[in-house]
Chain A
Amino acid sequence: MIDAQMLAVVALVTLGLSAVVFRKNMIKIVMGISVIGSGVNLFLVSMGYREGSTAPIFTASRNAWMSLPTPQALTLTSIVISLAVTALMLSFAVLFYEKYGSIDTTKRRLKQ
C-alpha cells in the first residue's frame, strides 16, 4: 500500500523531470527543477511525521507528542538553497537570451 504523501512525491518528481527532459524553453526547465525540489522537500518532511503529532513548537501546544524537528530544520535549509540556485539559474537564462536572442535550448546560434 502506498501512502498519499509518497504518491505526491512520485508525481512531483516525475513531473519536474519530465519538464527538464522534454521542454526546450529554459524558464520551463528552471520551473521543473524547482518542482523536483518541492517533491524532495515533501519527502523529507513526511519522513519526519509521527502519527497524530503536532508541530515541534511549545508555545501554547496541547501535548508533547511532536513530529521530528531535525528533518524540518534541514528542509528549511534546502528551501533557502533552492531559492538561491533558482535565482542564479534565472539570471543565467537572462544572459543566455541576450547573447543568443532566444531561450530555446536547441537554438544555440550567435545573434547577428
Chain B
Amino acid sequence: MSAIVKTVSAFMTVPMMIFGLYVILHGHLTPGGGFPGGAVMATAVAMLIAAFGLSQSDARKKDAFSLFESIGLLAFIAMAFVGLQSTFFANVLAGHGWIFGSSVSYGPNPGYLETGGVIPIMNFAVGIEVFAALSAVMLAIMLHRREKHD
C-alpha cells in the first residue's frame, strides 16, 4: 500500500485498540461487552494486515493468537468455577465489597465502574478470546494464500 495508507493506519491502530478496550471494560455499564470489543480490536489487526502486508514472523504470531484464544476461554471457565461454592456461574463477587463488588440499588444511576462482580472479569476474558480468535483466523487464511502464491 502507499505511504499515506501506511501512516494513517499506523496512527489509527492505537485509538482503535483503546476504543476496543473501553468497550470491553465498560461492558457492564454501557452497550457493548466482550464480543463487540474483541471484534473492534480484531478490526485493528485486519487494518494492519491490509496496510502493511504479512511479515516473516506471522506464523509465530498466529500461534501466539491461538494461545491467547485458549487462555481467554480457560479464564472464562475458571471464573465460572469460582462460583461453585453455591452454583456454577454464580456471581460471588457482586455486592461483597471486594474487587468490582460495590452494591447497586435499583434505578438509573450515572454508572460506577467498580460494580458487577465477576461480569467485568468474564467480559475481559471473552474479549481476549474473540480478539485472538478473529485475528488468528485472518492470519491463517492470509498465510495460506501467501504460501500458495509463492
Direct contact of A and B (CB under 8 A): yes
Q: Which residues of B contact A63 (CB under 8 A)?
A: 108
Give residues 70-123 of B contacting A (CB, 8 Å).
107-111
Please, how many angstroms separate the alpha-carbon atoms of A61 and B31 in the complex?
12
What's the tally of chain B residues with a CB closer than 8 Å to chain A? 19
Best-buried of B108, B130, B144, B148 by chain A (most CB within 10 Å): B108
Cβ of A57 within 8 Å of any chain B Cβ, yes or no, is yes
Q: A58-B108, A58-B109, A60-B110 are in contact. Are A76 and B35 (CB under 8 A)?
A: yes
- Please report the total number of A residues contacting B with Cβ < 8 Å: 18
CB of A16 to closest CB in B, whole Å: 22
Contact of B31 among A55, A79, A83 (CB under 8 A): A55
Q: Within the assembled complex, what's the spacing in Å between the Cα atoms of A84 and B148?
A: 24
Q: Is the CB of B110 within 8 A of A64?
A: no
A59 in the interface (beta carbon within 8 A): yes
Instruction: Pick the residue among B29, B35, B107, B144 that contacts A64 (CB under 8 A).
Output: B107
The answer, yes or no, to whether A94 is at the interface (CB within 8 Å) is yes
**Would B35 and A61 count as touching, CB distance under 8 A?**
no
Chain A residues closer than 8 Å to B33, beta-carbon distance: 76
CB of B117, distance to nearest CB on chain A (Å): 16
Check if A98 sits within 8 Å of B148, measured CB to CB.
Answer: yes
Q: Could you say which residues of chain B place their CB within 8 Å of the CB of A64?
A: 107-108
